[in-house]
C-alpha cells in the first residue's frame, strides 16, 4: 500500500492556507443584491471578493434546496464552510459543516458583463474545499473573468446510494453531490449578472474528481443549458458506479457505522470515520463516484457523449505527463500495481497492459512503467476518449498535455497531478507551491502563458497566448495536441504508440446503459 494515499495527498494540499484575500485588510465593502438577500464583500488585490455565499441547503442524504432568504446583509468576507471530510496532513482552515453549500466569487472591480468560470474543486469526491488558496480566482478577475468556486457534499454525504436501505425517499442519494453542483449552476444563472457576470457565457471547469464531475454534469439532462463551455483538467467520463456496486459500497459504510439506524442520527465525524474504513477495504480507487441510476443520471457520461446527447459545447481537456507520480514515490511504484491505484479498468486488463507496456517500452524501469500506465489509466486515456467522442459529434475540442516538469520539491523533474492548478490560476508564488513543486517567481512566465490561454478560452475563443504557438482544434485525424513545456509545441497524436496498446487490449464496455 502506498505510504501516501490519494486522499492524504489531495487532502493535505487542500488544507494548507486560507484564502489569500483573508490576509488583506478590507479596503472597501461592497454590497450586491442576490435573490436571497444582500451580500457584503470586500476589495482585495484590486478585485471584488465575496466568500461563503449560501446557494443552497440540504438535510442529510436529501436533495438540496435553494438557499433560504435572509434579512439584512450576509457577511461575504468570511471563508466558506467546508464539506465534512477526513483530516488531511494539515488542519483544514475552515469550519466543517453539513450545511456547506456555499460559494465564492471574484469579480472585476469595474462594471461590465464579463464571462464567467465556475470551477469545481477536486479531492477524490472525499476531500477538498472551494477556499483552497491555489484555486482562488483573483487572477481571473484581474483579467476580465468572474470566477466562482463552490462547495458540494463529499464522501458518504454526497456520493452514497441509500435507496435500498432507507427507502424510496432516499433513492438517488448517491448523486446528491451532483445535485448540489446543478443547484450551484442555477444560482449562477439567477444571480451572477448582479456581480457583473454574463450568465450566457459560463464555462464549467474542474480538475481531478472535479473534472470527472464536470463530465458527469455533461451527462445530466438537469444541467443542460446551464453552461456554454467546459474545461476538463485531468479527469474523464467513465468513473461511475452502476447501482449494484453503489449498493455494495454503501453496505460496507453502514456496516462500519454500526447499522442502518445510525445513518440519520450519527454525528458527521462518525460517518466520515466509517467511510474512511470502508474505502480502505474497497478493491478499487475512487469509491465516491456518481451512480448511473437510470433517472437523474440516465447513462455514463462517455456514453452520452458518444451518442450525441451531451451539449456540443466547446471543450478543452487534457492531462499531465506524470499524473500518478503524485501518489506513488519510486519505491512504491516499483512494486506490483496495487488495485486501489486503479480507478476505471479491471485488474486483469491492467495486468495484460502492464505486460504490453514492458514489451513496448523496455527502456523503462518498473517504477517508470507503472507511473506511465497508471497515468494513462486514470487520466490520459479517459481525457483522450472524451476528446475523441466529443469531436466526433462536431463539437470544438482543444487537447493538451502538460509536460513542463516541476522545478523542485519532491516531484522535481516530473509533471504530476495538480501541477496544472497553480499555472491555471496563476499562483506559482504561493509558499505551499514552493514546498510542493519548487515553484517561484522565476516560473511566472510559464504560469502567465498557461493562464492567458485559459482566459482566452473562457472569453469565448480558442485557447492561446503569446507564450505558445497557435493551438489548433483536435480531431480524430490529426489528433493535434498542445504539448505545454518551457518551449511548447503542437504535436499530432503524441501518444500514438501508447494509444494503440490500449486499443489492442480489449476495452471493457462503458457501464451504465441508458434505461428506458
Provide the annotated active-site residues: 208, 323, 417
Q: Which residues contact 375 (CB under 8 A, 6 or more apart)?
A: 319, 320, 321, 322, 323, 324, 325
For the chain, how many helices (H) and strands (E)? Answer: 17, 15
CB 310 within 8 A of CB 216: no
Strands (E), 243-289: none
Gap between the Cα atoms of 502 and 249, Å rounded:
29
Gap between the Cα atoms of 358 and 355, Å rounded:
5
Provide the 8-state DSSP code for 425.
T
Residue 414: how many CB atoms within 10 A of its CB? 20
Q: Which residues contact 76 (CB under 8 A, 6 or more apart)?
A: 39, 40, 41, 50, 51, 52, 53
Gap between the Cα atoms of 463 and 454, Å rounded:
6
Q: Which residues contact 335 (CB under 8 A, 6 or more apart)?
A: none
CA-based nearest residue to 220, from 202, 204, 200, 235: 204
Residue 434 to residues 430, 440, 469, Cα–Cα distance (Å): 6, 6, 28
CB 176 within 8 A of CB 153: yes
- Burial bucket for residue 368 (CB in 10 Å: 0-12, 13-18, 19+): middle
Cβ burial 140-165 (10 Å sphere, 16+ → b, else e): bbbbebbbbbbbbbbbbbbbbbbbee
For residue 384, the Cα-to-chain-centroid distance in whole angstroms is 17
Amino acid at each position: 500500500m502506498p505510504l501516501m494515499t490519494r486522499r492524504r495527498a489531495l487532502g493535505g494540499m487542500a488544507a494548507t492556507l486560507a484564502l489569500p484575500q483573508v490576509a488583506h485588510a478590507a479596503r472597501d465593502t461592497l454590497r450586491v443584491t442576490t435573490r436571497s438577500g444582500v451580500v457584503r464583500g470586500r476589495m482585495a488585490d484590486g478585485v471584488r471578493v465575496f466568500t461563503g455565499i449560501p446557494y443552497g441547503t440540504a438535510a442529510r442524504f436529501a436533495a438540496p434546496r435553494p438557499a433560504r432568504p435572509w434579512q439584512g446583509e450576509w457577511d461575504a468576507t468570511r471563508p466558506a464552510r467546508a464539506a465534512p471530510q477526513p483530516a488531511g496532513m494539515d488542519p483544514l482552515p475552515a469550519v466543517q459543516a453539513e450545511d456547506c453549500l456555499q460559494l465564492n466569487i471574484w469579480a472585476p472591480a469595474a462594471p461590465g458583463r464579463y464571462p464567467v468560470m465556475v470551477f469545481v474543486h477536486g479531492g477524490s469526491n472525499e476531500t477538498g474545499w472551494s477556499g483552497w488558496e491555489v484555486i482562488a480566482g483573483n487572477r481571473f478577475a484581474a483579467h476580465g473573468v468572474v470566477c466562482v468556486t463552490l462547495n458540494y457534499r463529499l464522501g458518504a454525504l454526497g456520493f452514497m446510494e441509500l435507496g435500498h436501505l432507507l427507502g424510496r425517499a432516499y433513492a438517488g442519494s448517491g448523486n446528491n453531490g451532483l445535485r448540489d453542483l446543478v443547484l450551484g449552476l442555477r444560482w449562477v444563472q439567477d444571480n451572477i449578472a448582479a456581480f457583473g457576470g454574463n450568465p450566457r457565457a459560463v464555462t464549467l471547469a474542474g480538475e481531478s474528481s472535479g473534472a470527472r464531475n464536470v463530465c458527469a454534469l455533461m451527462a445530466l439532462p438537469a444541467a443542460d443549458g446551464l453552461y456554454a463551455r467546459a474545461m476538463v483538467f485531468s479527469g474523464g467520463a467513465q468513473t461511475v458506479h452502476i447501482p449494484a456496486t453503489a449498493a455494495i459500497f454503501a453496505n460496507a459504510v453502514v456496516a462500519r457505522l454500526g447499522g442502518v439506524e445510525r445513518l440519520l442520527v450519527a454525528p458527521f465525524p462518525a460517518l466520515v470515520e466509517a467511510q474512511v474504513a470502508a474505502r480502505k477495504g474497497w478493491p478499487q480507487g475512487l469509491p465516491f463516484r456518481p451512480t448511473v441510476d437510470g433517472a437523474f443520471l440516465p447513462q455514463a457520461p462517455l456514453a452520452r457523449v458518444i451518442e450525441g446527447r451531451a451539449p456540443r459545447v466547446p471543450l478543452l481537456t487534457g492531462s499531465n505527463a506524470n499524473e500518478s507520480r503524485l501518489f506513488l514515490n519510486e519505491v512504491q511504484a516499483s512494486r506490483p500495481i496495487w488495485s486501489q491505484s486503479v480507478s476505471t479498468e479491471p485488474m486483469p486488463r491492467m495486468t495484460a497492459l502492464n505486460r504490453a507496456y514492458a514489451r513496448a517500452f523496455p527502456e523503462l524501469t518498473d517504477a517508470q512503467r507503472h507511473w506511465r500506465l497508471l497515468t494513462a489509466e486514470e487520466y490520459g486515456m479517459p481525457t483522450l476518449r472524451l476528446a475523441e467522442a466529443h469531436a466526433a459529434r462536431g463539437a470544438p475540442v482543444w487537447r493538451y498535455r502538460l509536460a513542463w516538469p516541476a522545478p523542485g520539491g519532491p516531484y522535481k523533474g516530473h509533471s504530476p497531478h495538480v501541477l496544472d492548478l497553480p499555472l491555471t490560476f496563476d499562483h506559482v508564488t504561493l509558499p505551499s507551491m514552493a514546498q510542493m513543486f519548487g515553484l517561484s517567481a522565476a516560473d511566472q512566465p510559464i504560469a502567465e502563458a498557461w493562464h492567458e490561454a485559459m482566459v482566452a478560452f473562457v472569453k469565448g475563443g480558442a485557447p492561446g497566448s503569446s507564450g505558445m504557438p497557435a493551438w489548433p482544434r483536435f480531431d480524430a485525424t490529426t489528433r493535434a495536441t498542445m504539448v505545454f513545456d518551457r518551449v511548447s509545441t503542437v504535436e499530432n497524436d503524441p501518444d500514438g504508440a501508447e494509444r494503440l496498446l490500449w486499443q489492442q487490449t480489449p476495452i471493457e464496455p462503458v457501464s451504465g446503459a441508458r434505461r428506458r
